[in-house]
């Protein structure tokens, strides 16, 4: 067996870290967020808090938490609505404590209500406990309300293709 035939029978290499996020959400990718799981029931990921996503006091910027919440809720709602267009109409966020420069933040978005015309998603952010490497103190909690089942314009008919590639249905 030569090198070309052996490489064609092996499975494709796993995606590079961050490649999934780059394909799914350019804004999240730009701040270093890494999407892990995507499904209509849950979207998860993590972020290393870097200077790019900090406010002047070297803690995670609240607007970054809001960006993450809207991004993950929108992905989940898009899948849960059968890949129809969704649009965020309301975001409410409570910040409980800060995440400092160098901390890692875990995020989970899950639906609270999936209706015919609206969806509500809850998005929670936690710091990773440096001692245990497990989920630690909760940083924030958001509620994102989205209109769903909107028509997808012809110019972006393929908008859901990347999500279909990575989603676990």
DSSP state of 14: P
Q: Which of 125, 39, 107, 25 is nearest to 78 (CA)?
A: 39
Q: How many CB atoms are located within 10 Å of the residue 157 CB?
A: 9
CA dist 114 and 124 (Å) reads: 18
Q: Active site residue: 70, 122, 134, 161, which one?
A: 70
3-class secondary structure, 80: helix
Token reading at 13:
């290499």
Catalytic annotation present for 70: yes
Are 95 and 139 spatial neighbours (Cβ–Cβ below 8 Å)? yes
Structure-block tokens of residue 142: 């958001």
Which residues are tagged catalytic?
A: 70
């Amino acid at each position: 067996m030569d090198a070309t035939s052996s490489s064609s029978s092996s499975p494709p290499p796993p995606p590079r870290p961050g490649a999934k996020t780059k394909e799914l959400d350019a804004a999240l990718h730009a701040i270093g967020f890494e999407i892990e799981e995507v499904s209509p029931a849950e979207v998860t990921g993590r972020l290393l808090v870097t200077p790019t996503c900090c406010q002047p006091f070297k803690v995670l910027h609240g607007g970054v938490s809001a960006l993450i919440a809207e991004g993950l809720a929108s992905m989940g709602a898009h899948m849960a609505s059968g890949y129809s267009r969704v649009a965020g109409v309301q975001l409410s966020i409570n910040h409980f404590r800060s995440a400092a420069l160098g901390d890692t933040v875990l995020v989970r978005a899950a639906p609270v209500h999936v209706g015919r015309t609206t969806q509500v998603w809850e998005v929670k952010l936690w710091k990773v406990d440096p001692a245990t490497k497990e989920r630690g103190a909760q940083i924030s909690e958001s509620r994102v309300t989205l209109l769903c089942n909107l028509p997808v314009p012809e110019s972006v008919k393929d908008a859901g293709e990347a999500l279909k590639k990575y989603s676990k249905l």
